[in-house]
């Protein structure tokens, strides 16, 4: 389904529900990270915002962003502290591997981010295991799996089979929609098949 028709369906649904939508949100959801998060942000919006009592949905995602380069970790920590989300979806790590970040710096940054999450539920989307052209990707994945396992309020999320684009790094158009549905289900909500 094209974005135009999906947007039209959302508009129709919103008009139909406009008399029953409640202004109070049950929670705040943050989607943060790199281009993978940025590209799926519309699908997450579509999946979340049509609901009665939709969560407040905040997106802070930019292509090329890292976890640990320069002041990246401090940036993420500051944003998380400002937003105070109940649930945080993170897609970071791919660009750290691509930039050749020191693994110790990356691990330190992941700890900073997860510590800043406090009691928020965190879901960290793992970088692709399919790409062979980025040296250090498997080490970044392994570090994420190990560190996230130390936090009782955090877990890693694997990209579903068949969801990657031809570069085996980013999500395909279909993969963006399916990963958004996967995230929505992690919130305990049903995902729309529109």
110-163 pLDDT, tens digit per residue, is 999 999 999 999 999 999 999 878 999 999 999 999 999 999 999 999 999 999
Superfamily of 26-186 according to CATH: SGNH hydrolase (3.40.50.1110)
pLDDT in tens, 111-121: 999 999 999 99
Residue 115 C-beta-side C-alpha neighbours within 13 Å: 8
Q: Would you say 87 and 27 are in contact if contact means Cβ atoms under 8 Å apart?
A: yes
* Distance of alpha carbon 113 from the chain centroid: 14
Over residues 39-44, mean pLDDT: 95
pTM: 0.87
Classified as helix, coil or strand, 69 is coil
pLDDT in tens, 17-36: 554 556 677 899 999 999 99
| Residue count (the chain) | 194
- C-alpha 2/C-alpha 46 separation (Å) is 13
3-class state of residue 145 by DSSP = helix
């Amino acid at each position: 389904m094209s974005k135009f028709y999906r947007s039209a369906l959302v508009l129709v649904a919103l008009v139909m529900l406009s008399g029953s939508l409640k202004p109070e949100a049950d929670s705040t959801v943050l989607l943060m990270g790199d281009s993978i998060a940025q590209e799926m942000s519309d699908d997450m919006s579509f999946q979340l915002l049509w609901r009665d009592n939709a969560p407040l949905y905040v997106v802070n995602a930019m292509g090329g962003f890292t976890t640990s380069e320069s002041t990246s970790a401090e940036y993420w920590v500051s944003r998380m502290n400002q937003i105070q989300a109940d649930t945080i979806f993170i897609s970071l790590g791919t660009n750290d591997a691509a930039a050749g970040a020191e693994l110790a710096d990356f691990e330190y940054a992941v700890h900073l981010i997860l510590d800043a999450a406090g009691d928020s539920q965190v879901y960290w989307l793992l970088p692709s295991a399919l790409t062979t052209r980025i040296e250090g990707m498997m080490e970044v994945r392994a570090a994420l799996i190990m560190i996230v396992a130390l936090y009782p309020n955090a877990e890693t999320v694997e990209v579903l089979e068949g969801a990657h684009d031809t570069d085996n790094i980013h999500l395909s158009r279909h993969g963006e929609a399916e990963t958004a549905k996967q995230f929505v289900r992690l919130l305990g909500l049903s995902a729309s098949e529109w």
